[in-house]
């Protein structure tokens, strides 16, 4: 039986009346953290990676550092105008309009991420190493965080915040990639042209793990 391939969604249609999306700014960091925390409060990854004790506080701080400060400082974060939807990418080195991670942000991440994961820190780090080994060779945009508040879902907001980086990938002929921990997220990203390149499990064998990669799409004429 031939597997069904979902129709790839166009994200460069000038006639598309999508949501207002803009690059994230420093003032957005608290709302970025809040939106991603609300979006992922009950996710399998959250329950797996963070201890029960203070889980929501840990998750909020994680998103503040790894999504908010990292994404804003490197130029890899886009939000809807009301910050109810967020996409944070790790840009390839030297991408125009982006910056390398500042040393103070890197130091805060190195210092706090193991503390936030607490007793899960070792297996989270080992799983991150598995993901790193499965990432594409060469320059690519890496989708690190994507979330929409539950009250704002099914309005095309996720597609809206994904679009700026995907349009750049198409224009520059670059790959986009991500790691996901549920088949529902695989199906969602396949709708934008991502395909599974690696199927494995977390370092402790507790969760499934997929690395998905999107080839650059032809740019529409005109």
Per residue in 195-215, pLDDT (tens digit) is: 999 999 999 999 999 999 999
The more confident residue out of 9 and 91 is 91
> What pTM, to 2 d.p., does this model score?
0.90
Residue 218's pLDDT band, with cuts at 50, 70 and 90, is: confident
Residue 219: what pLDDT?
A: 75
**Closest CA relative to residue 165, chosen from 113, 100, 216, 101:** 216
CATH of 21-214, one of 3.40.30.10, 3.30.720.200, 3.40.470.10, 3.40.630.30: 3.40.630.30
Domain boundaries, the chain: 21-214
Mean pLDDT of the chain: 91
Is the model's pLDDT at 162 over the cut of 50? yes
Residue 4's pLDDT band, with cuts at 50, 70 and 90, is: very low
Structure-token match 């990639």, residue found: 177
Residues with Cβ within 8 Å of 202's Cβ and at least 6 positions away in sequence, in order, are 48, 123, 127, 130, 181, 209
Residue 8's pLDDT band, with cuts at 50, 70 and 90, is: very low
Is the model's pLDDT at 6 over the cut of 70? no
* Mean pLDDT of all residues in 70-90: 97
**Closest CA relative to residue 161, chosen from 2, 29, 11, 9:** 11
Rounded Cα distance between 52 and 50, Å, is 7
* Mean pLDDT of all residues in 89-110: 93
């Amino acid at each position: 039986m031939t597997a069904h391939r979902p129709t790839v969604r166009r994200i460069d249609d000038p006639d598309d009346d999508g949501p207002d999306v803009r690059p994230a700014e420093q003032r957005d960091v608290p709302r970025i953290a809040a939106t991603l925390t609300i979006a992922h409060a009950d996710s399998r990854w959250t329950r797996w990676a963070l201890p029960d004790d203070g889980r929501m506080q840990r998750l909020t701080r994680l998103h503040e550092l790894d999504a908010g400060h990292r994404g804003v400082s490197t130029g890899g974060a886009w939000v809807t105008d009301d910050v109810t939807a967020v996409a944070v990418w790790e840009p390839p080195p030297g991408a125009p309009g982006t910056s390398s991670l500042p040393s103070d942000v890197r130091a805060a991440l190195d210092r706090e991420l193991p503390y936030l994961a607490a007793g899960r820190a070792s297996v989270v780090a080992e799983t991150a190493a598995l993901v790193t080994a499965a990432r594409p060779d060469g320059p690519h945009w890496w989708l690190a965080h994507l979330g929409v508040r539950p009250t704002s879902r099914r309005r095309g907001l996720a597609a809206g915040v994904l679009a700026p980086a995907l349009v750049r990938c198409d224009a520059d002929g670059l790959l986009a990639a991500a790691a996901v921990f549920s088949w529902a997220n695989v199906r969602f990203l396949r709708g934008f042209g991502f395909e599974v390149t690696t199927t494995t499990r977390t370092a402790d064998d507790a969760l499934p793990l997929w690395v998905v990669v999107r080839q650059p799409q032809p740019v529409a004429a005109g």
